Amino acid sequence: MVEEGYAKHEVFKIATWDRWMVFVSGPDMNDEISKLPDDVVSLDESIKEFIYSDYTLGPNEHNVTIPAIHGLLTRNLSDIFPAIVDEIELVLEEMFPSDSDWVEISNLPNLMLNVIARIANRIFVGTAACHNPEYLKIVTTYATNVVKAKLIMDLCPKMFRPLIGYMLPWRTRAMKLMEPFLSDVIADHQLLLDEPGSDLQDGPNKGDFLMWLAKGVQELGSSSELMLSNVLVANFAGLHTSTMVSTSTLFQIASTPECVPDLRKDILSAIEGQGWTRNAVNMMGRLDSFIKETQRFQELGIVGMRRKTLKTVILSNGTVIPADVNIYAPSTATHHDSALYDDPGAFKPNRFFDKGIETGEPSQHQFVSMSPEYIAFGHGKHACPGRFFAVLVIKTLIANLLLKYDLKMGGDGSNPKTLLIGTSAILSRKAKVLFKRRQSIDA
């Protein structure tokens, strides 16, 4: 239905059981929506309504996670990269098969959720908690329960949602369970803020995510409860998308084994002479293109951008959209538009790599790059702020997996279908992927 509307109209609406969804079509409209002022349309209000964040993530005014992501994860990626590499090496040794024969793994999304949780929490809270299975179970269960809570709230009549929202137990329960694991380290970080040398721009703590959270929370009126709440927000934001992207990429690799030799050559060429550095990962152009094309081809939901109107909006084509309406840019339809992509129904692993060479601007076609034609991370000033960290983790993880493992799909070898519920996607938990440890890392 969305694809049909996209093909016929610049702006169209679709009725759901409790609301209208207004969609805009094409790059020009995507660009226009992304440039509307924040006092006219709001990403925060749209997300708040979509995920019921007051009940699932906590009040937005208490959220200091996004500034911390801007402050740490984007500006200090080179400083935290050695910890990412170290944790990936540990994860591969402890959570993946060591057998030189084929080993079948079912429910790959669940495995990857736990893998991403360990890597992300190495950065979020440090080694002690990230290596504790009980702590990891708390944060992964919470991330899953946020999605569950959204589905429950979607099914409730609007008038009952505030009551049901306050009755949802998962956020409060997760904070209570987390406290014993983090209380001491949170207290230590809050004390460190008052000591000389706690400069978060250039000091020794600039790569410490908890210090950034502690500083943000201190400005709100420091409390350990706010710290715990923001650690949960960081986990939901950091785990969900990264798990989806890494899992779908492994499904694609396993179902297109003919692509693997070129990917391994790309990886080995990048790390030759410099080892595992952030710069080396940035040089893995074919791997980057493969991951980006996987997300274009498979899709992890049908919406790439969303805004809620705070005032009446008059678009350039004359369409009038009243206040209190959610506007969406459909990613699936955009990414399968034949006017934007040659043969969009085909998976072309080097699509974006070749485009970068063709235009002479490879950086403009990397996975983290934004454009109104590719909106997997949104577009414009409100594009996903954590995409640089997420893509760095995903690329480094997939690159290490490719060098150390052969993999193939079970069954008929085809890529498993993604289930769509509303605008959200759920990856197959029944598909089986086989892994085999390689004897050497040569291409």
Within-domain flag for 366: yes
Q: Is 384 annotated as a binding residue?
A: yes
How many angstroms separate the CA atoms of 314 and 325, rounded? 13
CB of 373 within 8 A of CB of 334?
yes
**pLDDT of 200:** 59
Name the 3-class secondary structure at 371.
strand
Q: DSSP state, 100?
A: S
* pLDDT 10s digits, 146-187: 989 988 998 888 899 999 998 999 999 999 999 999 999 888
**Which residue range(s) make up the domain with 132?**
2-437
**pLDDT of 181:** 94
Within-domain flag for 194: yes
CB of 260 within 8 A of CB of 253?
yes
Residues of the chain under the 70 pLDDT cut: 60-62, 71, 195-207, 222, 442-443
* pLDDT 10s digits, 25-73: 999 999 999 999 999 999 999 999 999 998 999 876 567 888 888 767 8
List Cβ neighbours of 194 (8 Å cut-off, separation of 6 or more): none
Region label for 178, one of left (φ > 0), alpha (ψ between -120 and 50) or beta (otherwise): alpha
The structure's pTM equals 0.94
Q: How many CB atoms lie within 10 A of CB 120?
A: 27
List Cβ neighbours of 171 (8 Å cut-off, separation of 6 or more): 55, 56, 57, 58, 142, 229, 232
Within-domain flag for 442: no
How many angstroms separate the CA atoms of 43 and 34, rounded? 10
CATH code of residue 60 = 1.10.630.10
Within-domain flag for 65: yes
Region label for 143, one of left (φ > 0), alpha (ψ between -120 and 50) or beta (otherwise): alpha
Query: What is the domain count for the chain?
Result: 1
Within-domain flag for 306: yes
Within-domain flag for 126: yes
Within-domain flag for 428: yes
